[in-house]
């Protein structure tokens, strides 16, 4: 699966569940964000913009899950 597919799946799960993210999805999301941290410096600007927004979305989702 691609990073954007996994992160968007976590967003969908969060929005559709009453309890928020489960521990498995939190771990997956954290792993995706770590991957993005390593990947972003190597991407060209046009691709980097997209993945920076994806990283921001994942970061916001974790912040919303952990009040």
Torsion, CA 51, CA 23, CA 11, CA 43, rounded to 10? 10
- List, for residues 52-65, the tens digit of each pLDDT value: 999 999 999 999 98
Q: CA–CA separation, 61 vs 18, rounded Å? A: 14
Predicted TM-score (pTM) of the model is 0.90
Q: CA–CA separation, 22 vs 18, rounded Å? A: 11
Evaluate whether 35 touches 2 at the Cβ level (below 8 Å): no
- List, for residues 24-61, the tens digit of each pLDDT value: 999 999 999 999 999 999 999 889 999 999 999 999 99
| The pair of three-digit structure tokens given for residue 51, joined into one six-digit string | 């993945």
């Amino acid at each position: 699966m691609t990073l954007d597919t996994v992160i968007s799946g976590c967003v969908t799960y969060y929005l559709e569940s009453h309890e928020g993210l489960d521990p498995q999805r939190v771990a997956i999301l954290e792993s995706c964000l770590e991957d993005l941290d390593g990947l972003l410096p190597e991407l060209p600007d046009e691709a980097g913009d997209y993945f920076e927004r994806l990283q921001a979305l994942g970061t916001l989702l974790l912040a919303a899950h952990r009040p």
